[in-house]
């Protein structure tokens, strides 16, 4: 038996805003969408166009309170081939949350406060 990664989920308050953020910040695009028949939720899967892994953005009807992200010890990590260019872009977007120069990584935050780690592609 072998397991492989499929997707990771972030619950979001403003689906359109989050989709636009992930498109602008990381180049992710919608690969599929599922809407509840009763309108209670929408799932949008964002992909990188290279791997089969996707980020599931879940919007829940009627939700207005920000999600409790705990101590934010969990995060999604993305590798980039041009780290310096990505850093500059994220600086211009104003979404850099934390930089660890000694490790050569930094974190950006999305509109809901989720952290995404940016690492150099090896």
Domain CATH for 49: 3.10.180.10
Is 23 among the domain residues? yes
Is 69 among the domain residues? no
35 belongs to the catalytic site: no
Is 47 among the domain residues? yes
Is 68 among the domain residues? no
Entry pTM: 0.92
Q: Is the pLDDT of residue 73 over 80?
A: no
Catalytic residue, chosen from 30, 56, 97, 117, is: 117
Query: CA-to-CA distance for 118 and 79, rounded, in angstroms?
Result: 6
What integer pLDDT is reported at residue 5 of this predicted model?
87
93 — pLDDT class (breaks 50, 70, 90):
very high
User: In the chain, how many domains are there?
Assistant: 1
Is 2 among the domain residues? no
Nearest to 47 by CA among 74, 72, 28, 20: 28
Is 1 among the domain residues? no
Query: CA-to-CA distance for 57 and 117, rounded, in angstroms?
Result: 17
Query: CA-to-CA distance for 83 and 106, rounded, in angstroms?
Result: 10
> Alpha carbon 84 to chain centroid distance?
20
Mean pLDDT confidence for 82-108: 96
Q: Is the pLDDT of residue 33 over 80?
A: yes
Q: Is the pLDDT of residue 11 over 90?
A: yes
Range of the domain at 110: 7-63+74-120
């Amino acid at each position: 038996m072998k397991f492989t990664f499929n997707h990771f989920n972030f619950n979001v308050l403003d689906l359109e805003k989050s989709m636009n953020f992930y498109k602008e910040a990381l180049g992710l695009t919608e690969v599929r969408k599922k809407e509840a028949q009763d309108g209670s939720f929408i799932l949008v899967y964002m992909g990188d166009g290279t791997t089969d892994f996707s980020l599931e953005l879940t919007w829940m009807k009627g939700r207005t309170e920000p999600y409790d992200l705990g101590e934010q010890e969990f995060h999604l990590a993305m590798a980039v081939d041009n780290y310096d260019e990505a850093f500059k872009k994220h600086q211009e977007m104003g979404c850099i949350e934390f930089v660890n120069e000694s490790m050569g990584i930094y974190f950006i935050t999305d509109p809901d406060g989720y952290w995404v780690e940016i690492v150099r592609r090896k």
